[in-house]
Structure 1
């Protein structure tokens, strides 16, 4: 049964979090399986070099489409707090501005991508033999990016409304479409990596059509023509929080550039393939933790907007406890089954030899990442953009990028892998300190739940 926006402020936190997290987790799982299976298919049916090409291209397309995610998350925070305070008209106006911002910005970046494609691919690490398959994969996927951006934006608005099951379905549909078309285009029609790209393009379109159907027929956010006007105040409010998510993705893209070049320098093309497998596992294996983080955002945002600070604090503590338990379980599975996991992706002996230990090191600090993820998400849900931005950039920007640049000069390729747990530990400590201070000073428990 769907959760209405009002129930975000009244239902039991544990039940509400589970009710929100399960669809979010399932949606992320299918999205992750989609990318994972894509990687397995191109690895097994095209070759390990194709994995390297996909590893180069996806950070570019995700950077552009993350405009939609950023506007969705940032606007979703504004929208949740507007619903929490009873201002539904503002929530609808926010949504209309999200739609216009996402379409305009993603389209501009796609045109830039088309004109400067080779320069972009070289920048993101399409070195040596990686360039040709990267080009073949890049163009069809790039055309579908505005659809993906609108899907990402819409998905966050759907969750902000308290309807996570529809958000889940919007992520399941493109996964099924992509997997089925991958089999058809790559295996049976022998279209190679271009077939994988066409399958991805069509899957993005299918997702967009479902999201469009939801907002036309099921959403509380009923848009009318007069809503489609740019509101400077709302745009500033959305942008201040959207900048947090987009900055994170921007830093992730910078990290991808540095990683791909560093890996190529110290380990060659096969090391880029190794990270291609690891990056897919980072998205796939952590899906329940990310699902809880996504479920946390609308609950915390709504109750913060309603000034029900007791429920905000309870949501933080419950989310960290559940996400922490799941992260420990994931780490144990990676620790013991790393070799079996890697064998699914490729038959390349060099890749199989290097990847299992690299995978274990990259996941080594995953048991503590719940504090990092929930802590940064809280400040975004509460509309505290500067702190959210700082904490969001801490892992990749302040620690991981410098460590990836420095450690390989002393430790070689191992320096890349060990940089991940070190960055996780340092960023978790900082986020934990910020969150503890916030809870002690600004989320003080009172009889009626209001702030002192």
Structure 2
């Protein structure tokens, strides 16, 4: 694999560069999404719908703790991209060292608290009734591996900030392949049930971490830190916190969304609707992988060129990224509108050998998921503007607008809607909250992005 310099982010043609950055990111996200998707299919078919719903309960808790690593990674990576663009390598090294120190302190602390309060946390996230016991088994084992995942996710964003998308892609592929192999061995061959699914996932986190650790100790990385870089610097920590807080807030809102959805749907339709949302939640992760890939590819290019004061290239990057993401989002939308029933059937066993309760639950989920899936993805073609717009402010180091725009869809619009609309429209009110929130968030983001381009990027082509 040829060595790539971060300087290419400021010199290659934007269209070619975005494809070069976005394609590996998309493949990596696709493979990781397939990991979640196939893992869910294995669990749903080999263990059952209750187990599938149990994983959906645990997901937001482990997701939030693991996302702390991603938040520290994204916040620091924005600094690293701009520092490399400004040819300030010492700041890039100091930032990377501070990321590692922060990650160790915070992730270990949260895991300890998560284990202590497990019996209180699981029911609050919808782990009630028949779901509680399998959810607790999965939760306890997964939590042991979450700090490892957090460091791997943090390292992955730094690899991308260096302009090494192919290595970042491999880091995302490794846990997927290892998880699927271990799923087959632990669940199907060894019949370990929920504990097998959990140990397979935890083992895959370790495989990813080992690869990331190797990368930064190899000649492929430009960031060779020493012990002095681990000492926390107030200015750097503050900037990591403000920018990483955007990602962490987004993931926190995702976790709150899962909490609300699992509880609201349990109250409306008990385990059945929780399982329906589990399938739709997996598709929200999987189906939009190319859009998220474009967004990930966009970040280092925009950050590097903003740091280098090449504002015309930043404008071009924004326009190209929105165009690419909108095209792939539309293709995804068409597929989901046409094949929702076929997608649902992949997750649920149609075997008649199941216990009567499990068979009845499976039949309910199979017949009840297509219409909600169409509602949830109804506004997919327009989300590119919202995602790229929010990502621009993060890449540019503008923490407050990045935070507000990132939170707009789920925090400012979706959560209030999903609390209000079901009071009037029942279950339908839950599902229509998704496209309404998408439309409102896109309008707000479009306004602020357009104002930023006119006031900053059109009038600042000179170095300021």
Q: What TM-score, normalized by structure 2, do the two folds share?
A: 0.96
Q: Structure 1 pair 345/208, CA: closer, same or farther in 2 (3 Å)? A: same
What is residue 232 of structure 1 aligned with on the other side? Answer: 234
1:398 aligns with 2:399: no
**Superimposed CA distance per residue, residues 67-111 of structure 1 (whole angstroms, 9 cap, x where no aligned partner):** 110011111101100001000010010000001111111000000
Q: Structure 1 pair 2/423, CA: closer, same or farther in 2 (3 Å)? A: farther
1:56 aligns with 2:57: yes
Q: Quick one: which of 359, 372, 376 aligns to 1:362?
A: 376
1:450 aligns with 2:452: no
Q: Quick one: which of 244, 247, 252 aligns to 2:246?
A: 244
What is residue 23 of structure 2 aligned with on the other side? Answer: 22
What is residue 282 of structure 2 aligned with on the other side? Answer: 280
1:72-83 paired onto structure 2 within 5 Å: 72-83=73-84
Secondary structure (helix, strand or coil) at the match of 2:339 reads helix
Quote the Cα distance in structure 1 between the aligned partners of 2:178 and 2:79: 33
**Superimposed CA distance per residue, residues 237-284 of structure 1 (whole angstroms, 9 cap, x where no aligned partner):** 111101111011111111111111000011111100111111110110
Quote the Cα distance in structure 2 between the aligned partners of 1:335 and 1:167: 32
What is residue 387 of structure 1 aligned with on the other side? Answer: 401
Quote the Cα distance in structure 2 between the aligned partners of 1:73 and 1:364: 29
What is residue 223 of structure 1 aligned with on the other side? Answer: 225
Do the aligned residues in 2 keep the contact of 1:2 with 1:164 (CA within 8 Å)?
no
**Superimposed CA distance per residue, residues 184-230 of structure 1 (whole angstroms, 9 cap, x where no aligned partner):** 11111111111000000100000000000000002100011221211
What is residue 157 of structure 1 aligned with on the other side? Answer: 158
Q: Quick one: which of 306, 310, 320 aligns to 2:322?
A: 320
What is residue 439 of structure 2 aligned with on the other side? Answer: 425
Do the aligned residues in 2 keep the contact of 1:445 with 1:451 (CA within 8 Å)?
no
Quote the Cα distance in structure 1 between the aligned partners of 2:347 and 2:116: 33
Quote the Cα distance in structure 2 between the aligned partners of 1:382 and 1:2: 26
Quote the Cα distance in structure 1 between the aligned partners of 2:60 and 2:111: 14
Q: Structure 1 pair 254/180, CA: closer, same or farther in 2 (3 Å)? A: same
Q: Quick one: which of 440, 450, 460 aligns to 1:436?
A: 450
1:87 aligns with 2:88: yes
What is residue 208 of structure 2 aligned with on the other side? Answer: 207
By how many angstroms is 1:20 displaced? 0.3
Quote the Cα distance in structure 2 between the aligned partners of 1:58 and 1:432: 31
Secondary structure (helix, strand or coil) at the match of 2:316 reads helix
Q: Structure 1 pair 2/364, CA: closer, same or farther in 2 (3 Å)? A: farther
Please tell me the root mean square deviation across aligned C-alpha atoms, in Å. 1.0
**Superimposed CA distance per residue, residues 23-54 of structure 1 (whole angstroms, 9 cap, x where no aligned partner):** 00000001101111111111001000111100
Q: Quick one: which of 385, 389, 394 aligns to 1:375?
A: 389
Secondary structure (helix, strand or coil) at the match of 2:163 reads coil
List 4+ stretches of structure 1 deviating above 6 A. none
**Superimposed CA distance per residue, residues 274-314 of structure 1 (whole angstroms, 9 cap, x where no aligned partner):** 11111110110100000000000000000000000000000
Quote the Cα distance in structure 1 between the aligned partners of 2:444 and 2:368: 32
Q: Quick check: 409-418 or 163-172, which moved more?
A: 409-418
Quote the Cα distance in structure 2 between the aligned partners of 1:2 and 1:349: 53
Do the aligned residues in 2 keep the contact of 1:277 with 1:345 (CA within 8 Å)?
yes
Quote the Cα distance in structure 2 between the aligned partners of 1:103 and 1:420: 35
By how many angstroms is 1:127 displaced? 1.2
Quote the Cα distance in structure 1 between the aligned partners of 2:463 and 2:261: 45
By how many angstroms is 1:2 displaced? 5.2
Quote the Cα distance in structure 1 between the aligned partners of 2:48 and 2:426: 26
By how many angstroms is 1:411 displaced? 1.1
By how many angstroms is 1:410 displaced? 1.2
Secondary structure (helix, strand or coil) at the match of 2:223 reads coil
By how many angstroms is 1:350 displaced? 0.3
Structure 2, gaps ≥5 residues long: 350-361
Quote the Cα distance in structure 2 between the aligned partners of 1:45 and 1:450: 61
By how many angstroms is 1:381 displaced? 0.3
1:310-349 paired onto structure 2 within 5 Å: 310-347=312-349, 348-349=362-363
Do the aligned residues in 2 keep the contact of 1:144 with 1:205 (CA within 8 Å)?
yes
Secondary structure (helix, strand or coil) at the match of 2:338 reads helix
Do the aligned residues in 2 keep the contact of 1:309 with 1:445 (CA within 8 Å)?
no
Secondary structure (helix, strand or coil) at the match of 1:220 reads coil
Quote the Cα distance in structure 1 between the aligned partners of 2:402 and 2:29: 22
Quote the Cα distance in structure 2 between the aligned partners of 1:369 and 1:145: 29
Do the aligned residues in 2 keep the contact of 1:361 with 1:418 (CA within 8 Å)?
yes
Q: What TM-score, normalized by structure 1, do the two folds share?
A: 0.98
What is residue 191 of structure 1 aligned with on the other side? Answer: 192
By how many angstroms is 1:3 displaced? 3.7
By how many angstroms is 1:451 displaced? 5.8
What is residue 352 of structure 2 aligned with on the other side? Answer: none
